[in-house]
């Protein structure tokens, strides 16, 4: 399954995060060099700092390739505490945009892309061949894929 997502919001978004966190082992968020962060975003980064596994300088991540620019890509392990932090901070999938937040949340399962987003373009893609995962995703009330 490789399906485009119509933006999940509210309970649908929270249920998608539940499935992502129960399925995946890692996720990333991006801070682009050419875009500033506002005060709220900087405070939020301080809040999640203890959970940051690694920050890499990259010019590409799932769904995005920069030309002549770089970004700090923040990597995190999926865990219950971080899931709750994300649920408190956001109400929809394509809300992950600078300057208010970090960008382009992406989830990985065993090193492979599972959910990739390009928030500015409102693109989200789920990639899985696991029938149980597909069933869980399709069972999310309000989820719309094409």
**Is 120 part of any domain?**
yes
Number of domains in the chain: 1
**Is 145 part of any domain?**
no
**Is 98 part of any domain?**
yes
**Is 146 part of any domain?**
no
Domain that holds residue 48: 2-138
For the segment 36-77, what is each residue's pLDDT rounded down to a tens digit?
999 999 999 999 999 999 999 999 999 999 999 999 999 999
- Residue closest to 74 by CA, chosen among 21, 26, 20, 127: 26
pLDDT of residue 146: 84
For the segment 95-106, what is each residue's pLDDT rounded down to a tens digit?
999 999 999 999
29, 85 contact by CB (below 8 A):
no
**Is 144 part of any domain?**
no
**Is 93 part of any domain?**
yes
102, 31 contact by CB (below 8 A):
yes
pLDDT of residue 120: 93
**Is 43 part of any domain?**
yes
């Amino acid at each position: 399954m490789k399906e485009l997502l119509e933006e999940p919001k509210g309970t649908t978004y929270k249920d998608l995060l539940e499935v992502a966190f129960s399925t995946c082992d890692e996720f990333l968020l991006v801070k682009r060099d050419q875009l500033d962060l506002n005060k709220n975003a900087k405070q939020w980064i301080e809040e999640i700092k203890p959970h940051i596994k690694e920050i890499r300088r990259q010019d590409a991540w799932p769904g995005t390739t920069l030309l002549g620019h770089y970004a700090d890509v923040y990597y995190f392990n999926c865990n219950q505490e971080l899931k709750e932090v994300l649920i408190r901070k956001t109400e929809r999938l394509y809300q992950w945009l600078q300057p208010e937040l970090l960008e382009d949340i992406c989830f990985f399962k065993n090193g492979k892309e599972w959910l990739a987003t390009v928030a500015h373009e409102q693109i989200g893609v789920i990639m899985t061949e696991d029938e149980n995962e597909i069933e869980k995703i399709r069972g999310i009330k309000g989820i719309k894929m094409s």
